[in-house]
Structure 1
């Protein structure tokens, strides 16, 4: 007889990890299954923002914006190492949205979401403001407002880590092959063996409808798959502000400080043909982002300046919108079974990173009548994620503390490590008194001690997991460092078997 779980969550993106954490914390016995690495899909390929979605106001999605704005400061409070405030500058551009409309939208943005700590919008003179210096002539007025930055992939991993610390079983690289209902339970066949569960959460993102087929369940919902592509270029400015830019076609894009030495530019909205097709930035999308950027900055970019691109597929609810950018970013659930002795399956459609915690709460609330082990109510709004047990104003102290206690760390490494691990950094730094004490050095500040921590505690199993999801050091590590890292990971995994 296979082990029986209360809830099997299928999908290791942000929604699945968030639901697993919430449900395990309420007393359920949870199994989280992910066919690849945690956050391998959409959840590591976002624009890295915790934001209300200023442009959604144009589509009258006031409820979604209010919910997201309320979540901004909650998420900042529970994960102040991987989430921090970011001030954006929106330059006014003649011939596009009028000044009064921009100011009205930002007034609503400041006041409908329960903002308490983030500063309000202000009008700025771009001839004097630091954000004006890199811009072309002709941009005189701008609006400075608040939103937040997030390390999206680490947000997923930390939710899964907290679920596991509370007792959940987390299995990565485990594909669901088939599901069937038997004796009031779901029988789940996977590449790692068979499991039983009283309820299934289908949080497979773009593949959500494929799981309906494997469970022989029909869905009442339709998905719209929308690809968002980004480019990364050498940094275009030295100040700490990000930009919110308008384009003549009515769309917007962001230019954001990224990994100290780069600027992140995105995103596009293109319909994506099929969930099984790996999303990649097309040359047309890259040219679109370059053209948009060149319409604002003095520095003119070419295709040769693009050092990295990435794309994610947003599994949006198909609401019949004409343009991809107009499709709702809200979420909805479909609940099947749960009556006449049949086990329940709850499926998640839509959502965005900023609202993941609230989505998880709603999902677990819906499961509660069907899963007797679930008890209590919302607890995740105030419980810190691993490493985030310090004040929202305390990140600078965390960075300074690492620099003081581990003086051999370069300033960039101390900053990166504090922002990735928070108070947990000392768990793997230990009593090291030199860089050599942390094992092999692969370059860019990455050491064996950190990699071993990622393997032992964060489910990393490949160089790609380490370099592009647990960190973004793939931007800086050379080929020799990459090869040495691969060898180290292989040896570590062999020693653990």
Structure 2
């Protein structure tokens, strides 16, 4: 049984970005690297960026670049080094959610998969009456931007749970599905590739190509800080002002001695830390923002407004899949509330009625694409 180590990976990523900004970094959302220019010495001199929303492009002068782009690392390597790269072997992992009433658990558990040399996790979501099940580990050769959970993936997980519990789950119990890709290190030259991606290393590798570009490949969330330290250490030949690592004991953004008391404060504190005060101020000014918007979920209106005004959310999909986990908990219920959420944030996001309709339609399309791929029906 696992009592600790629960986490919301999207909130962790956002907290790290906020922490970096606290220390002087500039964080940009929906900005794509198009290429680099190099000086006559061969050293990187600038990076060409494009704002994916406006289409504007800009050159940013620099003396070094860190390529820490996960499963896209090979693409950036090819962009900066002008040569093919095969350092990453993507592996797909999927999860599904069911109502906790159908699969009740107070702590995370590990279940062996009959007939397979793998285990899966059964984990209760915090602050939501749902349990999620996962993960798989299979080779993947599709589009990196759009991995999907298949009907076979769903059947695999349901069979594993039903073999170990009396829940007797079916596809009708599934309320959410999602898939992600692990950036596993490809075998080095001369090493045979196992048929099982589960056998590939979860370690990371830092590569200095000698031109001011540092490539970080492999790794996983649980070692992110060590990966970052190794990458920064590799910058020493290019940045003379580097100081001794400070992040081993550095509090992340939102850490404080304040502790919540009410049910709403506890819910917000678990997600926003000390920034909870900003959301409580929104609710004090507009009490309606303290109301939950999605059936069966605790997310209140202030969280969606805050996502737009303070956390760089630019779309309804951003809000329900990344700033909150509503879509993962229960996609059909979130879809039913989609228009209400869009209407709420419209004044802050500067959306007119046509844009609201477009945002809702885009989310509807996402839900149906994911559920269709998984062999599930969207019940509205």
Correspondence 1:229-244 to 2 at 5 A: 229-235=94-100, 236-244=102-110
Distance 2:22 2:309 in 1: 13
What SS does structure 1 have at the residue aligned with 2:152?
helix
What SS does structure 2 have at the residue aligned with 1:422?
helix
Change (3 A) 1:370 1:478: closer
Correspondence 1:60-99 to 2 at 5 A: 87-88=1-2
- Among 68, 73, 76, the residue aligned to 1:203: 68
What SS does structure 1 have at the residue aligned with 2:208?
strand
Q: Deviations over 1:73-103 (max 9, x none)?
A: xxxxxxxxxxxxxx43xxxxxxxxxxxxxxx
Give the aligned partner of residue 133 of structure 1.
none
TM-score, length-normalised on structure 2? 0.79
Change (3 A) 1:433 1:460: closer
Q: Deviations over 1:361-414 (max 9, x none)?
A: 111011122112322x22112111112234xxxxxx834x2x0xxxxxxx3x44
Distance 2:39 2:350 in 1: 38
Q: Does 2:194 align with 1:334?
A: no
The higher relative CO (CA closer than 8 Å, separation ≥ 6) is in 1
Correspondence 1:24-423 to 2 at 5 A: 87-88=1-2, 147-182=4-39, 184-192=43-51, 193-218=58-83, 222-235=87-100, 236-247=102-113, 248-259=115-126, 260-276=128-144, 278-319=146-187, 320-337=193-210, 343-375=211-243, 377-390=244-257, 398-399=259-260, 401=261, 403=262, 411=263, 413-423=264-274
> Alpha-carbon deviation of 1:448?
4.5
| Preserved CA contact (<8 Å) 1:232 1:308 | yes
Q: Deviations over 1:126-170 (max 9, x none)?
A: xxxxxxxxxxxxxxxxxxxx5511111100000001111221111
Change (3 A) 1:445 1:350: same
Name structure 1 gaps, 5 residues minimum.
1-86, 89-145, 338-342, 391-396, 404-410
Distance 1:257 1:365 in 2: 38
Name structure 2 gaps, 5 residues minimum.
52-57, 188-192, 352-380
| Preserved CA contact (<8 Å) 2:38 2:44 | yes
TM-score, length-normalised on structure 1? 0.62
Change (3 A) 1:441 1:350: same
> Alpha-carbon deviation of 1:293?
0.5
When structure 1 is superposed on structure 2, of 284-293 and 232-241 the one drifting more is 232-241
What SS does structure 1 have at the residue aligned with 2:237?
helix
| Preserved CA contact (<8 Å) 1:225 1:272 | yes
| Preserved CA contact (<8 Å) 2:91 2:139 | yes
| Preserved CA contact (<8 Å) 1:442 1:482 | no
- Among 342, 347, 370, the residue aligned to 1:486: 342
Change (3 A) 1:371 1:221: farther
Change (3 A) 1:182 1:445: same
Distance 2:109 2:317 in 1: 29
Change (3 A) 1:293 1:437: closer
Change (3 A) 1:277 1:433: closer
Distance 2:63 2:268 in 1: 40
Structure having the larger proportion of residues in strand: 1
What SS does structure 2 have at the residue aligned with 1:279?
coil
Change (3 A) 1:211 1:434: closer
Distance 2:33 2:155 in 1: 38
Q: Deviations over 1:443-484 (max 9, x none)?
A: 445444333322232211112212121211234554453113
Q: How many aligned positions are there?
A: 330
When structure 1 is superposed on structure 2, of 219-228 and 252-261 the one drifting more is 219-228
> Alpha-carbon deviation of 1:300?
0.1
| Preserved CA contact (<8 Å) 1:230 1:264 | yes
Change (3 A) 1:283 1:460: same
RMSD, matched Cα: 2.5
When structure 1 is superposed on structure 2, of 158-167 and 423-432 the one drifting more is 423-432
Give the aligned partner of residue 376 of structure 2.
none
